[in-house]
Amino acid sequence: MDDRFAHLRYVAVDGPIGVGKTTFCRILADRIGGHLVLEEADKNPFLKDFYHDRRRYALQTQFFFLLSRYAQQKELIEYDLFKKKIVADYTFEKDFLFAQSNLTEDELSLYKQVAELLKKNLPKPDLVVFLTASVEVLTARIKKRNITYERNFDAEYLTSVVEAYNHYFFHYNRTPLLVIKTDRLDFVENSTHLDEIFTQIAEMRQGTRYFTRGDEMLGL
């Protein structure tokens, strides 16, 4: 266990589809000796149909994710954060970002009422890590991982999701926030890149920090 992360009991990692959240969370949990909490996307019975017909299955898909994530977050309240750290591959607010892109105005109003009731008293992360990348890079990564129900994914929808994420985290101030642009980062194969990211995480105490490599612009 790395003592540099002693101040972090609960880290939440978020970002758009294909950015590498789950892979990064597995690596981070292993480094800091944390308990890994993964969203249960594969258990959503509406997800495959949603990718074929987003309008028809959007509401069912969003409410399943909302309730599933709420149940997981409630378990964290009972989990002794002082015994073991938590690393989650989503924030509770994540589902609202997708709801904005998928639901009608009336559906979104209903969704927001339920979400507001559920999020009261849920645990707040010590640090949120926002992984981001260009739509082009995300599209390439989605194609590479070749998940069956994502094959009908379209660029327009992905663009709307990325824009929702960027807007949300540009105004985010609920917890310390580390924004990492991953277009030129390879935290799986490149140990130098990974060490650079871990250094950024270890140094985070408050506010917002942006991390990128070379002459890239963050694009937020």
Domain boundaries, the chain: 127-220
pLDDT tens column, 132-145? 999 999 998 888 87
pLDDT tens column, 50-96? 988 888 999 999 999 999 999 888 887 776 655 678 999 999 888 88
pLDDT of 216 reads: 43
pLDDT of 219 reads: 37
pLDDT of 220 reads: 37
Distance spanning both ends of the chain, measured CA to CA:
33
